Structure 1
């Protein structure tokens, strides 16, 4: 499975960077109690930190709001998923455990201030493209609503669109039956290559510590980005 960046992304998002991690032989279930406790404690600490802050004070959120504007998406109407998470935490609406993969995905999003999406590899048909949506690009989201992807950066396969930094599709959702997965990490354009690589490898390490298996890291982007392809 290959991941490519379409020309529209290169034109509209200077210095765009996307991390992709391919996992194999993983086991997903309920999050271990230690992980649940760590995620809960992190949310409580973040809630305190956000008391005197607004969303404009969170660098990662502001970078992704800016990207939405650059592609023609109104970030006040379609908020980046990381902003939606931060708003919940600020209100004290802490995230309840779902499964180990989703719980970790949300934790990484809060920790690194960026959107992430994780998908069942067996539900993805062919290669993955990162593109900008056209008027007819839609899917049923995990929120049960039809998601319109017009002017939004998102991922698609040979079948249709399946993921975005707004909300993901039901079609490729992770379940406890998933044994192979693809993690899309919507990196901040301001990050340098070394910082990106260190983050991706930290995500891979923690994810496989919880789920077992192996992972392969790839990074694609525009500008002077050097291609990274590493197996761990």
Structure 2
């Protein structure tokens, strides 16, 4: 699988970066108590922070709102997924455990204030490009709705779009039967290359320690 960023996205966001991780031989299951506990405690910590701060005080959320706007997406109507998680926590609507892969995704998304998507590799066909959606790009999302992805940042394969820093699709979701996965960290454009490398490797190492198997990563 080749992965790349299309020119239309670079034209609007010249410093756009993404961390790409592929996993083989993994076992997705119930989250270990360590992960459940850390996720719960971190959400409680964020809730207390939000009693004294505005969402715009969080650098990652502020930057990703600017990224959406530059891409042509209204960030007040379509929230970056990390911001949506923070808004849930602000209402004390804490995230419950889904399974080990999703829980780890959510933990790192909250920690680094960036959208992160994880996808079942067996449901991806052909190469993957990250681009700006055009008319007709749409999918059934994990939010249960048919989402138009026009003028939004999307990840797309040979069958069309399957992921976005807004919401991911049902088609490529990770389940308990997933053995191979593909993860995209939609990094903050302002992050340095060395910090992007460190963040991506840290997530990969934690994922493999919980799920077994092997992982490889790169920054594009």
Return the TM-score normalized by structure 1. 0.94
1:71 aligned partner: 71
1:132 aligned partner: 132
Residues in 1 aligned to 2:91 and 2:54: alpha-carbon distance in whole angstroms? 12
Residues in 1 aligned to 2:116 and 2:194: alpha-carbon distance in whole angstroms? 19
Q: Secondary structure at the match of 1:182?
A: strand
Cα deviation for residue 209 of structure 1 reads 0.6
1:35 aligned partner: 35
Indicate whether 1:184 and 2:184 are aligned: yes
2:168 aligned partner: 168
Cα deviation for residue 49 of structure 1 reads 1.3
2:6 aligned partner: 6
Cα deviation for residue 90 of structure 1 reads 1.4
Deviations 1:48-90 (A, max 9, x none): 1111111111111111110111111100000000000001111
**How do 1:6-25 and structure 2 match up within 5 A?**
6-25=6-25
Is contact 2:82–2:113 with CA below 8 Å preserved after alignment? yes
Q: Secondary structure at the match of 1:208?
A: helix
Cα deviation for residue 14 of structure 1 reads 1.6
Q: Secondary structure at the match of 2:185?
A: strand
Residues in 1 aligned to 2:10 and 2:123: alpha-carbon distance in whole angstroms? 27
Deviations 1:9-52 (A, max 9, x none): 11011211011000110000110112111111111111111111
Is contact 2:197–2:218 with CA below 8 Å preserved after alignment? no
1:223 aligned partner: none
Residues in 1 aligned to 2:71 and 2:199: alpha-carbon distance in whole angstroms? 25
**How do 1:209-228 and structure 2 match up within 5 A?**
209-220=209-220
1:224 aligned partner: none
Structure 2: stretches of 5+ with no match in the other structure = none
1:208 aligned partner: 208
Residues in 2 aligned to 1:129 and 1:217: alpha-carbon distance in whole angstroms? 16
2:117 aligned partner: 117
2:106 aligned partner: 106
Residues in 1 aligned to 2:61 and 2:136: alpha-carbon distance in whole angstroms? 27
2:196 aligned partner: 196
Return the TM-score normalized by structure 2. 0.99
Structure 1: stretches of 5+ with no match in the other structure = 221-232
1:88 aligned partner: 88
Residues in 2 aligned to 1:8 and 1:14: alpha-carbon distance in whole angstroms? 10
Q: Secondary structure at the match of 2:208?
A: helix
